[in-house]
Structure 1
Amino acid sequence: MIFSKTGNTTLITQERATIIELVANIEKKHDQIKGDNIIVNLFSVKEINEAGINDFLSLSKKHKVDKKSFVIVTDKITYDIAPEELSIVPTINEAHDIIEMEEIERDLDF
């Protein structure tokens, strides 16, 4: 798992861990990254199913309570299959766009 921070956004790239291990590792590091917007890059994961994506649900909810974005990047599952509480996009650029839009919404109190 690689953490790369730019500004107030942390990009987490998954290398070899399973989704369950990745979620557990992110939860361990949550105190260090809770003030950042989070992008989780799952490009290296060969198979992702709805149950695997749902493992991120509690992390995403916890992060959004703190008024920060939590975006998953994968082209293996679409946003219409996953719960609507999760932000799922196919590219890192789109993840940054989602974060920017959510920050504007928070600034405007939507």
Structure 2
Amino acid sequence: MKVDQKGHTTILKNTQGDCVAFLEKVTTQHNSFKDQNLILDMSKDKDVKLKQIKLFSDLSKTHKKGKKSFVMVVQDIDFNDVPAKLTVVPTLLEAHDIIEMEEIERDLGF
């Protein structure tokens, strides 16, 4: 796992290609990132399936309770099948845009 910090956002890159191991690492180290917006970059892993993405639901819910964004970057999936409670986008640029919009919404009290 590679950690990249930019301002109020932390990008965690899955470098091993194993979603379950990545989820375990992020979950065990969540306290280190709980005050930051999180982007989980899984774009390098071409074999990510919807079933694996759904495993991140509990972590996403926990992180969003802290009024911070939780966005996953995954390519080559049908985004219409992703549950509404998860935020999944195809590129890092879109992940940053989502976080920016969510920050504005929180500032406005939505």
TM-score normalised according to structure 2 size: 0.95
1:22-33 paired onto structure 2 within 5 Å: 22-33=22-33
CA contact (8 A) 2:17 2:44 kept: no
Q: Which residue of 1 is the match for residue 36 of structure 2?
A: 36
Gaps of 5+ in 1: none
Q: SS of 2:97's equivalent?
A: helix
Q: SS of 2:27's equivalent?
A: helix
Structure 1 residue 78 displacement after superposition:
3.4
Q: Which residue of 1 is the match for residue 84 of structure 2?
A: 84
Does residue 12 of structure 1 match 2:16?
no
Q: Kindly report the root-mean-square deviation, in angstroms, between the aligned alpha carbons of the 2 structures.
A: 1.0
Gaps of 5+ in 2: none
CA contact (8 A) 1:39 1:70 kept: yes
Q: Count how many residue pairs are aligned between Structure 1 and Structure 2.
A: 110
Structure 1 residue 50 displacement after superposition:
1.4
Structure 1 residue 17 displacement after superposition:
4.4
Q: Which residue of 1 is the match for residue 55 of structure 2?
A: 55
Structure 1 residue 79 displacement after superposition:
2.7
Q: Deviations over 1:50-80 (max 9, x none)?
A: 1100011111101110000000111122331
Residue identity in the other structure for 2:33 = I
CA contact (8 A) 2:39 2:70 kept: yes
- Quote the sequence identity (%): 40
For residues 107 and 46 of structure 1, what CA distance do their matches in structure 2 show? Answer: 36
Residue identity in the other structure for 1:97 = D
CA contact (8 A) 2:43 2:90 kept: no
For residues 36 and 64 of structure 1, what CA distance do their matches in structure 2 show? Answer: 10
Runs (4+) off by over 2 Å: none
1:88-103 paired onto structure 2 within 5 Å: 88-103=88-103
